[in-house]
Structure 1
Amino acid sequence: MTFTTPVHIPPSRVRIGYAHQLLVFGSCFAEAIGARLADGLFCVDLNPFGTLYNPLSVAAAIERLLAPRPFTEAELIHHADAYHSPLHHSDFSAPTATECLRRINDRLAHSARHLAAADRLIVTFGTAYVYRWRETGAVVGNCHKLPERCFTRTRLTVDEIVHTWTALMDTLHRQRPALQWLFTVSPVRHLRDGAHENALSKSTLLLAVDQLVSRCPERADYFPAYEIMMDELRDYRFYADDMCHPSPLAVRYIGERFEAACMDPQTRQWLSRAEAIHRDLQHKPFHPDSEAHRRFVAQTTLKLHQLQSELPCPSTFESHLST
């Protein structure tokens, strides 16, 4: 007997390999997949604006990278003894405007250069609900715990998402014809919205992504992370303690399905070796001056050099090792 409904995933049209420059945007599930790629020593820039959940904020972040005008103090808000950017996660917040802008603009400059060379964009939409400034109607990426009276909360329509993203994808295609897009919908449940509202939100995102991918199938595809969680891993043992986020085991399983769909066998073999090297690099020795540890370092270095010699872009690999 079979007690699950496996999700069939054909090979993705968007292939991912070590020769590619990857940019990953979106929700906390994007963070999990992006971190997995980074641990595998891919050339990946993960969430340059921090975690963003709604499609309009993700689009605004990418648009800002296309025209990387530095942020100014006029674009910040001061609340609870800190400065914040409405387009950034609180990871960029700081006690002073100078420090907040330094964090934001340093990352902006770095990621704008990465986007200029990128040929793969992976985007995860988390929710169709947005918060708009009550005075201007502008969508914010993060409310930074400002009073609820400052915002109005609405659910985006499929047409709003498709209109914004069609324009963005067309702009990027003109600038970078080789760029390909891989969309996912986050399996994280936003139950604070309510169960029915969460279902409406995810349905809106799924319909919007379907239209975007159908519009340009030669350069865009969809990976069914949401469907894997909802159907194949339909059991609370695959959820974290909050019963909303996938557990580490579920994230690992979805990551393996992602790799099987998007990577060729050689890339997956390199990835397996790179992950083992990454684990070795994270090893904290009890006796760093011992002969045993020196042998361990020498063996790890040898593995690095061997893998580096096989990869199609060793300079990219080297840059990851230096971080």
Structure 2
Amino acid sequence: ETNQVVANCHKVPAKTFSRELNSIESNIRAFDIMLYRLHRFNPNIKVMFTVSPVRHIKDGIIENNRSKARLLETVHHLVDKFDKLYYFPAYEIMVDVLRDYRFYDIDLVHPNYAGTSYVLELFKQSCMSEETIAVSEKMHKIFLAKKHRPFNPESEQHKVFLDKNYRQCLELSKQYPHLDFGEELDYFER
């Protein structure tokens, strides 16, 4: 109706849209504009690209591969052209390194826990400092603790558990004020 380009829209019926495969050139133009604006907003910005390893097979495996190929070509053109642009090969890791289907969910499209864990570990090793890894591991423990459902919420043991995690959230909040632990602090304070 509006002839505007969209990546996806789940609020409007699919029949409303026509699908077309963008050219590499039009992708590069669109990213050039976006990256120029981002750089003007923040000259020190660093951008990490990756391509989703999820196969979009609704239009067929051939169309999926054509689309991924254009996206990969676009991204590598940009990374070669600009400083402070990087590429993490999540797609290649899943398709070429973990090509065995035991790393995929039952639908054979989505990576399973083992696949995503392997990719995440490689991402951490190649893209995160030791400090960032340590903080992310502490945060992960807090998020897991928040999901924990106690057998006896009134027990002394559970109160100690809540207090320990509350103090951990406070400590991380003081060390890293840009991280928001408001929801977790509220949860562990009860």
Higher relative contact order (CA 8 A, sep 6+): 1
**Match status 1:214 vs 2:80:** yes
Q: Residue by residue, what CA displacement relative to the aligned partner does 1:262-316 show, whole Å, maximum 9, x if unpaired?
A: 111122122222211221122111211111111211222233344445x3x2352
The corresponding residue for 1:116 is none
**Match status 1:258 vs 2:132:** no
TM-score normalised by the chain length of structure 2: 0.87
SS, match of residue 275 in structure 1 = helix
Instruction: Give the drift of 1:144.
Output: 3.8
The corresponding residue for 1:238 is 103
Q: For residues 14 and 172 of structure 2, what CA distance do their matches in structure 1 show?
A: 52
Instruction: Give the drift of 1:145.
Output: 5.5
RMSD of aligned alpha carbons? 2.0
Q: For residues 282 and 296 of structure 1, what CA distance do their matches in structure 2 show?
A: 13
Instruction: Give the drift of 1:173.
Output: 0.8
SS, match of residue 170 in structure 1 = helix
TM-score normalised by the chain length of structure 1: 0.53
Higher helix share: 2
Q: For residues 317 and 270 of structure 1, what CA distance do their matches in structure 2 show?
A: 13
1:50-129 correspondence runs (5 A): none
**Match status 1:142 vs 2:5:** no
- Quick one: structure 1 residues 201 and 249, their matched pair in 2 at CA, closer, same or farther if it must change by over 3 Å? same
- Structure 2 unaligned blocks of 5 or more: none
The corresponding residue for 1:314 is 177
- Quick one: structure 1 residues 147 and 296, their matched pair in 2 at CA, closer, same or farther if it must change by over 3 Å? closer
Q: For residues 159 and 315 of structure 1, what CA distance do their matches in structure 2 show?
A: 38
Higher strand share: 1
Q: For residues 148 and 18 of structure 2, what CA distance do their matches in structure 1 show?
A: 48
Q: Residue by residue, what CA displacement relative to the aligned partner does 1:215-249 show, whole Å, maximum 9, x if unpaired?
A: 21x22100000000011111111111111111122
Conserved? CA contact 2:170–2:185, under 8 Å: no
